[in-house]
C-alpha cells in the first residue's frame, strides 16, 4: 500500500510529494520553490521573503469574513539522519516511506514528518474547496532545525492574522502553550601533530547502535550519548594502554542525541591486549547501565593501518577530560509543570581534523537564567582545559498564556470531537513560537500535531490514525475561529 492511499488522502499525497524533494536544513531551496509554485498554482497570493520563508493567503469563505485571521505555521526543512553504513544522500535522494502496522517510517533515514506533516496539512487547507474558515494565512519557515533562521529573520508587517497555530508538536491530543529557549556552544582546541613512534599498532574504536533521538523531547529518556561513551573509553586507553589519538568524531547535528562515535588510535604493540581488555570491560558496564534504554549498542576495537601522525598528547588528554566533564542530559526538572525538563544540554558533536578539535553542544531551558548558568558551567570546563568557547544562536523560550482565547476554543473543540479535553503542556524543545512572538507580540499562539516518535533519528515514525484525527481537528478549529473584536 502506498502512503498516498492513507486517509486523509489530501494530506498524505502532499506529504508524499515533500518526501520526494530533498530538504535538509540549509539545503531546502527546491522545497521552497515547490511551495511557491504550489501557492501560485492555486491562484492565491504567495510571497517568498528574502530568506525563503513562504507566506500564502487564502480568503475567508462566504459568511466567515468577520472571523479573526488564523496563521497555520510549519517549517519546511528536515533533520538528515542515517546510520553510517547507509549510502543515502539527503541533498539528492528522495525519502522512501514505508508502512509498518499503524506507522509510517522512512527506509533507513529520518522520515521528515517533523515538520513535513505540518506543511502537508497547511497545503491541504489551501487547496481544499469544501472547508469553512475565516481568513487563513500559511507561514512556512526555513532552517528551523539548525538555527531557526527563517523565524529569526521574518519581518514585521508581512502577516495580518493574529492567531498562530504552530503545526510542529508531536503528540496528538496535547496542546502546547510554551517551549524552551536554546543556545549553542562551540569549544575549540588547537593541536599539533606528532609522529607516532615505531612499535605502535593502529586500532579503530567504533561505537554504534544507540537510539539517539530529539535532543529536547527525548533527553529525559536517559538514552546513551555516543560522545560521552567514546571519551569514557578513550580516557583509560590513554592512561593505561598509552594510546595516542589520531582522530575522533561523533554525532552530526546539535539537535540530535549522538548515536555513533569513532576514534582512530595507536597503541604500543605490547599494550594491545590491555587495550582490548579495557574496551571489553567498559562495554559490559555500559550495556548493563543502559539496558533499559539501549538494546543494540555495539562497541568494537579493530586493528587498522597504523596512523603516521597523532594529536599531541597534551591536547588530546585535555580534550578528552573536558568532554568527560562537560554536562550532558537533564540538568533540572521543572518546578512549574510535572514531568517537564527545565534545563538540559546535548553534547552533540565532537570532531578532530586540520589542527583543531571542535565540540558542539545545544543547551535548552525554559528559564533564561538557568540557561545562562549552564552555559557558564560548560564554558568553565572547556576553558580550564585550554579551549576557546563561543556561545551563539541564543533564542528565547515561549511563556505560556493560560488565558489564551484560542486555547479555550481548541480545548472545547477537542472535547466536542473526541469526548475528552486535550492535555495542555509546555515542551522542552525550541518551537518557533518564542521567536515569532517577539516580532508579532499581538499573536495568540498554540501548537499541536499528530503523534511522531523518535524524531531526528532513523527510527522516526508518524502514527497513521492520529494524522486523520489531527486533520479533522484543524478543520473544525478553522470553522470555529473567534469573531473579530
Tracing cell 550519548 back to the chain, one arrives at: 225
| CA pair distance 373, 368, nearest whole angstrom | 9
The x, y and z cell numbers of residue 367, run together, are 528559564
d(CA 202, CA 272): 10
Q: How far is CA 322 from CA 185, 236, 316, 380, 386, in A?
A: 14, 14, 10, 9, 9
335 given a catalytic annotation: no
Task: Bin 173: left if φ > 0, else alpha if -120 < ψ < 50, else beta.
Answer: left
* Cα 389 from Cα 398, distance rounded (Å): 27
Active-site annotation holder among 114, 144, 294, 331: 144
What distance in Å separates the CA atoms of residue 419 and residue 414, rounded to the nearest whole number? Answer: 7
Active site residue 368: no
C-alpha cell at 191: 593541536
Helix (H) or strand (E) holding 238: helix 226-240
Cβ contacts of 289 within 8 Å, gap of 6 or more: none
What's the count of helices (H) and strands (E) in the chain, helices before strands?
A: 11, 23
Instruction: Give the Cα-Cα-Cα angle 455, 461, 467 (nearest 5 degrees).
Output: 110
Catalytic residue among 77, 168, 172, 432: 77
Q: CA-CA distance, 413 to 415, in Å (whole number)?
A: 5
- How many CB atoms are located within 10 Å of the residue 143 CB? 23
Phi, psi angle pair for 282, to nearest 5°: -70, -35
Active site residues: 77, 144
Amino acid at each position: 500500500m502506498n502512503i498516498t492511499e492513507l486517509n486523509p488522502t489530501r494530506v498524505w499525497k502532499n506529504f508524499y510529494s515533500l518526501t520526494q524533494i530533498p530538504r535538509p536544513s540549509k539545503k531546502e531551496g527546491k522545497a521552497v520553490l515547490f511551495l511557491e509554485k504550489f501557492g501560485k498554482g492555486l491562484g492565491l497570493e504567495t510571497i517568498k521573503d528574502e530568506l525563503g520563508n513562504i507566506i500564502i493567503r487564502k480568503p475567508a469563505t462566504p459568511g466567515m469574513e468577520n472571523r479573526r485571521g488564523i496563521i497555520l505555521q510549519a517549517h519546511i526543512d528536515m533533520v538528515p539522519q542515517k546510520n553510517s553504513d547507509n549510502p543515502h544522500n539527503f541533498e539528492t535522494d528522495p525519502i522512501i516511506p514505508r508502512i509498518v502496522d499503524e506507522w509510517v517510517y522512512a527506509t533507513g533515514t529520518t522520515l521528515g514528518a517533523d515538520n513535513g506533516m505540518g506543511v502537508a496539512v497547511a497545503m491541504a487547507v489551501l487547496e481544499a474547496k469544501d472547508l469553512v474558515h475565516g481568513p487563513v494565512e500559511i507561514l512556512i519557515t526555513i532552517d528551523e532545525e539548525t538555527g531557526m533562521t527563517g523565524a529569526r529573520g521574518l519581518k514585521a508587517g508581512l502577516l495580518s492574522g493574529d492567531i498562530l497555530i504552530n503545526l510542529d508538536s508531536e503528540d496528538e491530543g496535547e496542546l502546547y502553550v510554551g517551549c524552551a529557549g536554546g543556545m549553542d556552544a562551540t569549544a575549540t582546541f588547537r593541536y599539533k601533530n606528532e609522529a607516532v613512534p615505531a612499535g605502535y599498532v593502529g586500532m579503530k574504536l567504533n561505537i554504534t547502535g544507540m537510539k539517539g533521538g530529539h535532543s529536547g523531547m527525548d533527553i529525559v529518556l536517559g538514552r546513551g550519548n555516543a560522545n560521552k561513551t567514546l571519551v569514557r573509553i578513550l580516557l583509560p586507553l590513554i592512561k593505561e594502554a598509552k594510546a595516542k589519538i589520531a582522530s575522533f568524531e561523533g554525532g552530526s547535528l546539535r539537535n540530535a542525541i549522538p548515536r555513533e562515535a569513532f576514534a582512530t588510535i595507536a597503541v604500543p604493540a605490547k599494550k594491545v591486549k590491555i587495550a582490548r581488555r579495557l574496551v571489553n570491560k567498559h562495554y559490559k558496564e555500559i550495556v548493563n547501565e543502559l539496558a533499559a534504554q539501549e538494546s543494540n549498542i555495539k562497541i568494537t576495537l579493530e586493528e587498522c593501518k597504523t596512523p603516521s601522525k597523532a594529536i599531541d598528547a597534551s591536547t588530546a588528554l585535555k580534550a578528552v577530560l573536558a568532554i568527560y566533564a562537560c554536562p550532558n542530559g537533564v540538568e533540572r526538572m521543572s518546578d512549574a509543570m510535572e514531568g517537564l525538563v527545565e534545563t538540559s544540554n546535548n553534547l552533540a558533536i565532537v570532531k578532530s581534523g586540520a589542527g583543531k578539535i571542535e565540540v558542539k553542544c545545544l543547551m535548552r531551558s525554559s528559564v533564561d537564567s538557568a540557561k545562562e548558568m549552564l552555559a557558564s558551567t560548560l564554558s568553565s570546563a572547556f576553558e580550564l582545559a585550554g579551549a576557546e568557547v563561543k556561545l551563539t544562536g541564543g533564542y528565547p523560550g515561549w511563556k505560556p498564556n493560560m488565558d489564551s482565547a484560542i486555547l479555550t476554543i481548541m480545548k472545547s473543540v477537542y472535547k466536542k470531537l473526541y469526548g475528552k479535553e486535550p492535555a495542555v503542556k509546555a515542551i522542552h524543545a525550541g518551537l518557533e513560537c518564542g521567536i515569532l512572538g517577539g516580532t508579532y507580540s499581538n499573536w495568540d499562539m498554540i501548537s499541536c500535531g499528530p503523534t511522531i516518535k523518535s524524531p531526528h533519528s532513523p527510527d522516526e515514525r508518524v502514527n497513521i490514525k492520529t494524522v486523520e484525527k489531527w486533520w479533522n481537528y484543524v478543520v473544525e478549529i478553522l470553522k470555529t475561529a473567534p469573531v473579530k473584536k
